[in-house]
Amino acid sequence: MVPYDQANVHILTHSLHYGLAVFEGMRCYKGDGGSAIFRAKEHIRRLFDSAHILQMALPFSQEEIVKACADVTRVNQFDECYLRPIAFYGDGEMGVVARNNQVRVAIAAWPWGAYLGADGQSQGVRLKTSSFVRFHHNSMMPMAKTSANYVNSALAGYEARNNGYDEALLLDVHGYVAEGSGENFFIARDGVVITPPLMSCLAGITRDSVIRILNDQGVTVKEQPFPRDLVYIADEAFMTGTAAEVTPVRELDDRRIGEGKPGPITRKVIEVFNAALRGRDPRYRNWLYQV
């Protein structure tokens, strides 16, 4: 455990220069059985998947990192918090392809409120289709949660906010809906839910959880490409992510979606998801990692 002020790295930390870092974002919730990290094992598995894609060898096991995340939460005495494990190349050699720097792993925790604002979470957010295209999987790797990927997200996220919207919706290189700058995206029309396939978007753990919840509710979920105008005429839309949780979407490109407020499918997903996070739904109790 390293105190906040001493958790420093050298200015020549390789990953700071070239973006070759992999990270995770998880939330710990206080529920009926005490505090627990939501789907900790799946998140850390994805951390290792991201590292594998970058050919970065992590010097710990998945079990060690999961346990360390619980330790960080406990030592900080947080009931609820956001957790950020990150693996990166330390200082030593410079140059893009330097391979001899030590792989370092850190885990930070802090309290984090509603990602897209409290109003956004209750009333729905307003999105703008981004002029920045989600990168093709032969340029960057959307399946890897690497720091470098977030330059694309930040460009899109800034643009949307500069223009008075809450968040960006990025299209893929073929012009189909991909995801938000830090969220997966879903629409519902005539009772069927559609989300983009795992092609130009991150394999979100919240996305996976919501698909499971919808299936358990008897709602059909299709993972298929769709264009932005299908979003305009959708009955409902929502975004998912660890930070954003399940955030309703009320507008895209100044077109109201459905009735312009969280619809019945979205509200049901939020209700079941919130129960699952806090250990109040036995079907999803194995999603919780007790701290």
Please report, as ranges, the residues that interact with ligand PPE according to CB under 6 A: 25, 153, 179, 182-184, 201-202, 204-207, 240-244
Identity of the residue numbered 233: I
- Report how far residue 214's alpha carbon sits from residue 287's, in angstroms, rounded to the nearest whole number: 16
Give the 3-state secondary structure of residue 288: strand
- Tell me how far apart the alpha carbons of residues 206 and 186 are, in angstroms, rounded to a whole number: 12
Q: What length does the chain have?
A: 291
Task: Output phi, psi for 49, to 5 deg.
Answer: -60, -45
Distance, CA of 83 to CA of 275 (rounded, Å): 20
The secondary element (H helix, E strand) that includes residue 67 is helix 62-75
| Selected catalytic residue, list 30, 67, 145, 268 | 145
Say if residues 213 and 273 touch (Cβ distance below 8 Å).
yes
Q: What is the sign, positive or negative, of the torsion defined by CA atoms of 70, 72, 77, 78?
A: negative
C-alpha span between 212 and 123 (Å, rounded): 24
Question: To the nearest whole angstrom, how small is the minimum distance from the Cβ of residue 286 to ligand PPE?
Answer: 17
CB of 153 to ligand PPE, least distance (A): 6
Nearer to ligand PPE by Cβ, of 68 and 202: the residue is 202
Specify the pairing of strand 167-171 against strand 125-129.
parallel
Is 201 or 265 the residue whose CB approaches ligand PPE more closely? 201
Question: Given the complex with ligand PPE, which of 45 and 189 has the nearer CB atom?
Answer: 45
By C-beta, is 38 or 89 nearer to ligand PPE?
38
Give CA–CA dist 215/213, Å, rounded: 5
Tokens in use for 231? 């979003």
Judge whether 145 counts as a catalytic residue: yes
Helix (H) or strand (E) holding 270: helix 264-277
In angstroms, what is the minimal distance from the CB of 244 to ligand PPE? 6
Q: How far is the CB of 240 from ligand PPE (least distance, A)?
A: 6
Min dist CB 92 to ligand PPE, Å, is 27
| Residue at shortest CB range from ligand PPE | 25
Q: CA–CA separation, 85 vs 66, rounded Å?
A: 9
DSSP 99: -
Choose between 21 and 101: whose C-beta lies nearer to ligand PPE.
21
Q: Cβ 166 to ligand PPE, closest distance in Å?
A: 14
Active site residues: 145
